[in-house]
Amino acid sequence: MPKKPTLPLVGIRVLDLSYVFAIPYLGGLLSDLGAEVIKIESPHRLDQTRGRAFGPYLDNDPGEDPWNRSGIFHVLNRGKQSLVLDLGQPQGRDVFLWLLRKSDIVLDNYTPRVMPKWGLDYEELKKLKPSLIMLSNTGYGSTGPWSAFPSQGTTLEATMGISYYTGYRGDKPWKVGQSYPDFLACWAGLSALFAALAHMRKTGRGQRIDLGMYQIGAALVAEPILQKQLDGGDRERIGNEHPEHVPSNLYRARGDDQWMAISVESDEQWAILARLMNQPQLADDERFCHASGRRRYRDKIDALVAQWARERDVIEMLGLLQSRGIACGPVFNARDLLVNEHLRHRGFYERVEHKPPIGPRPIIGRPYRLRFRDARIRKQAPRFGEDNRPILRDLLGLNPEQIENLFEAKVVCDKPTNPGQSGSMNTEAMLRLRTLAALDSDYRSRIGLGADNTGKDPAADSAEIMPPTPG
Amino acid sequence: MRTMPTSFHPTCGKMETEPAGGALDGVRVLDLSHGIAGPFAARLLGDFGADVIKIEKPGTGDFARFLAPLKSDAPVPEQSLLFQYLNWNKRSVALDLRTPQARPALKKLVEASDIVIESFRPGILNGWGLGVDRMLEWNPRVVLTSVTNFGQTGPYADYRASDLVLQAMSGIMQISGRVDREPLKHGLAQSYYCAGLNAAYASLVAYTAAAADGFGEHVDLSIHECLASELVLNESYYAFLGAVQGRRAVVQDPFAGEPIPARKGFLAVQTGGGAPFEGYADLFEREEFRDPKFASAPQREQLVPEVRALLEECLADKDAKDVFLKGAQRRLLVGVVQGAEDLLDCEHLRARDFFIDLEHPATGSFRFPGELVKLSATPMSVRRRSPLLDEHRFEVLVDEIGLTLAEVECLAPVRARSGGL
pLDDT digits (tens, 9 = 90+) for A242-276: 999 999 999 999 999 999 999 999 999 999 999 99
Please name the residue of chain A whose CA is at the shortest distance from the CA of residue B82. Answer: A223
The class of domain A13-219+349-408 in CATH terms is: alpha beta
At A82 the pLDDT is 98
Residue B254 counted as domain residue: no
In this structure, the answer to whether residues B191 and B44 fall within a common structural domain is yes
Least confidently predicted of A157-171, A440-454, B89-103, B126-140: A440-454
Average of per-residue pLDDT across A236-240: 96
Nearest to A192 among B199, B216, B373 (CB): B373
Give me the amino acid identity at B40. F
Please name the residue of chain B whose CA is at the shortest distance from the CA of residue A350. Answer: B239
**Distance (Å) from the alpha carbon of B43 to chain A's nearest alpha carbon:** 12
B369 contacts B352 by C-beta, under 8 angstroms:
no
Q: What is the H or E stretch that residue B321 is in?
A: helix B320-329
CA nearest to A377, candidates A389, A360, A356: A360
CB proximity A98 to B under 8 Å? no
Task: Write the DSSP string, A266-335.
Answer: SHHHHHHHHHHTT-HHHHH-TTTSSHHHHHHTHHHHHHHHHHHHHTS-HHHHHHHHHHTT-EEEE---HH
Q: Tell me the chain B residues in contact with residue A228 when contact means C-beta distances shorter than 8 Å.
A: 340-341, 344
In this structure, the answer to whether residues B192 and B130 fall within a common structural domain is yes
Q: Tell me the chain B residues in contact with residue A110 when contact means C-beta distances shorter than 8 Å.
A: none
Are the beta carbons of A364 and B151 separated by less than 8 Å? no
Question: What is the strand order of the sheet A368-370 is part of?
Answer: A368-370, B217-222, B143-148, B115-118, B28-31, B51-56, B90-94
Measure the CA–CA gap between A299 and B419, rounded to whole angstroms: 38
Are the beta carbons of A158 and B154 separated by less than 8 Å? no
**Distance (Å) from the alpha carbon of A397 to chain B's nearest alpha carbon:** 30
CB proximity A360 to B under 8 Å? no
Q: What is the CATH code of the structural domain delimited by A248-252+259-330?
A: 3.30.1540.10
Nearest to A176 among B48, B151, B185 (CB): B185
Residue B241 counted as domain residue: no
A436 contacts A428 by C-beta, under 8 angstroms:
no
A406 contacts A96 by C-beta, under 8 angstroms:
no
At A465 the pLDDT is 38
Nearest to B168 among A191, A330, A345 (CB): A330
Task: Write the DSSP string, A32-45.
Answer: HTT-EEEEEE-SSS
Q: Taking the CA atoms of A130, A135, A138 and A140 in sequence, report the sign of the dihedral they define.
A: positive
* β-pair partners for A84: A41
Per DSSP bridges, beta strands B28-31 and A207-212 are: unpaired
CB proximity A226 to B under 8 Å? yes
Measure the CA–CA gap between B388 and A127, rounded to whole angstroms: 46
Q: Tell me the chain A residues in contact with residue B381 when contact means C-beta distances shorter than 8 Å.
A: none
CA nearest to B332, candidates A149, A166, A350, A471: A149
CA nearest to B408, candidates B77, B416, B98: B416
Q: Is the peptide bond before A357 cis (omega within 30 degrees of 0)?
A: yes
Nearest to A465 among B257, B298, B374 (CB): B298
**Distance (Å) from the alpha carbon of B356 to chain A's nearest alpha carbon:** 12
CA nearest to B44, candidates B22, B21, B77: B22
Indicate whether A408 pLDDT > 50.
yes
At A2 the pLDDT is 54
Nearest to A466 among B228, B298, B337 (CB): B298
Are the beta carbons of B378 and A222 separated by less than 8 Å? no
At A33 the pLDDT is 98
CA nearest to B52, candidates A354, B329, B62: B62
In this structure, the answer to whether residues B86 and B214 fall within a common structural domain is yes
Last residue of a domain, one of B336, B354, B371: B336
Average of per-residue pLDDT across A345-371: 97
Q: Give residues with Cβ within 8 angstroms of A141, minimum separation 6.
A: A147, A210, A211, A212, A214, A215, B352, B374
**Distance (Å) from the alpha carbon of B410 to chain A's nearest alpha carbon:** 34
Residue B253 counted as domain residue: no
Last residue of a domain, one of B271, B302, B336: B336
CA atoms within 13 A on the CB side of A98: 16
At B413 the pLDDT is 54
Distance of CA A213 to the CA centre of its chain: 14
Last residue of a domain, one of B336, B360, B375: B336
In this structure, the answer to whether residues B71 and B115 fall within a common structural domain is yes
Measure the CA–CA gap between A232 and B200, rounded to whole angstroms: 32
Q: At A470, is the pLDDT very low, low, confident or very high (cuts 50, 70, 90)?
A: very low
Measure the CA–CA gap between B48 and B22, rounded to whole angstroms: 5
Q: Decide: helix, strand or coil at residue A5.
A: coil
CB proximity A218 to B under 8 Å? yes
Mean pLDDT by 10 residues, chain B (421 residues): 40 46 97 98 98 97 97 97 98 95 94 98 96 98 98 98 98 95 97 98 98 97 98 96 92 89 96 82 92 87 91 95 96 96 98 97 98 97 97 96 89 50 35
Count other C-beta atoms under 10 Å from residue B175's C-beta.
26
Nearest to A368 among B194, B222, B372 (CB): B222
Measure the CA–CA gap between B82 and B32, rounded to whole angstroms: 18
Residues of the domain holding B282: 260-336
Please give the angle made by the CA atoms of A439, A445 and A448, to the nearest 5 degrees: 120
Are the beta carbons of A367 and B229 separated by less than 8 Å? yes
Are the beta carbons of B378 and A259 separated by less than 8 Å? no
Please name the residue of chain B whose CA is at the shortest distance from the CA of residue A189. Answer: B373
CATH of the domain at B315: 3.30.1540
Measure the CA–CA gap between B305 and B287, rounded to whole angstroms: 18
Least confidently predicted of A141-150, A422-431, B267-276, B409-418: B409-418
* β-pair partners for B276: none
Residue B272 counted as domain residue: yes
CATH of the domain at B385: 3.40.50.10540
Please name the residue of chain A whose CA is at the shortest distance from the CA of residue B352. Answer: A144
Give me the amino acid identity at B147. V
At B234 the pLDDT is 94
Q: Give residues with Cβ within 8 angstroms of A246, minimum separation 6.
A: A264, A291, A294, A295, A297, A298, A301, A302
CA nearest to A53, candidates A78, A27, A71: A71
CB proximity A451 to B under 8 Å? no
Q: Give residues with Cβ within 8 angstroms of B177, minimum separation 6.
A: A168, A174, A176, B183, B184, B247, B248
Measure the CA–CA gap between A43 and B404, rounded to whole angstroms: 68
Are the beta carbons of B82 and A211 separated by less than 8 Å? no
Residue B176 counted as domain residue: yes
State the DSSP code for B269: E
Q: How would you class A259 by CB atoms within 10 Å of its CB: exposed for 0-12, middle for 13-18, buried for 19 or more? A: buried
**Distance (Å) from the alpha carbon of A217 to chain B's nearest alpha carbon:** 9
Are the beta carbons of A53 and B179 separated by less than 8 Å? no
Q: Tell me the chain B residues in contact with residue A367 when contact means C-beta distances shorter than 8 Å.
A: 198, 202, 221-226, 228-229
Are the beta carbons of B202 and A368 separated by less than 8 Å? yes
Are the beta carbons of A161 and B340 separated by less than 8 Å? yes
Q: What residues does each domain of chain A span? A: 13-219+349-408, 248-252+259-330
Q: Decide: helix, strand or coil at residue B242.
A: coil
Please name the residue of chain B whose CA is at the shortest distance from the CA of residue A151. Answer: B333
Task: Write the DSSP string, B101-151.
Answer: GGHHHHHHHHHT-SEEEE-PPTTHHHHTT-SHHHHHHH-TT-EEEEEESS-
Q: Is the peptide bond before A247 cis (omega within 30 degrees of 0)?
A: yes
Q: Decide: helix, strand or coil at residue B28.
A: strand
Give me the amino acid identity at A336. D
Measure the CA–CA gap between B256 and B233, rounded to whole angstroms: 16
CA nearest to B230, candidates A175, A178, A390, A262: A178
User: What percent of chain A is modeled with pLDDT above 90?
Assistant: 89
Nearest to A196 among B23, B132, B205 (CB): B23
CB proximity A19 to B under 8 Å? no
**Distance (Å) from the alpha carbon of B76 to chain A's nearest alpha carbon:** 17
In this structure, the answer to whether residues B327 and B356 fall within a common structural domain is no
Q: What is the H or E stretch that residue B45 is in?
A: helix B37-47
Are the beta carbons of A327 and B159 separated by less than 8 Å? yes
Nearest to A327 among B161, B266, B273 (CB): B161
Average of per-residue pLDDT across A29-57: 92
Label residues A433-465 b or e (16+ Cβ within 10 Å = b). bbbbbbbbbebbeebeeeeeeeeeebbeebeeb
Q: What is the H or E stretch that residue A405 is in?
A: helix A400-408
Q: At A468, is the pLDDT very low, low, confident or very high (cuts 50, 70, 90)?
A: very low
**Distance (Å) from the alpha carbon of A398 to chain B's nearest alpha carbon:** 33
Q: How would you class A289 by CB atoms within 10 Å of its CB: exposed for 0-12, middle for 13-18, buried for 19 or more? A: middle
At B1 the pLDDT is 56
Measure the CA–CA gap between A357 and A337, rounded to whole angstroms: 24
In this structure, the answer to whether residues B310 and B370 fall within a common structural domain is no
ipTM: 0.95
Count other C-beta atoms under 10 Å from residue B96's C-beta.
17
In this structure, the answer to whether residues B389 and B299 fall within a common structural domain is no
How many domains does chain B divide into? 2
Measure the CA–CA gap between B251 and B401, rounded to whole angstroms: 64
Residue B387 counted as domain residue: yes
Please name the residue of chain A whose CA is at the shortest distance from the CA of residue B235. Answer: A334
Count how many pairs of residues, chain A against chain B, have C-beta atoms within 8 Å: 592
In this structure, the answer to whether residues B271 and B377 fall within a common structural domain is no
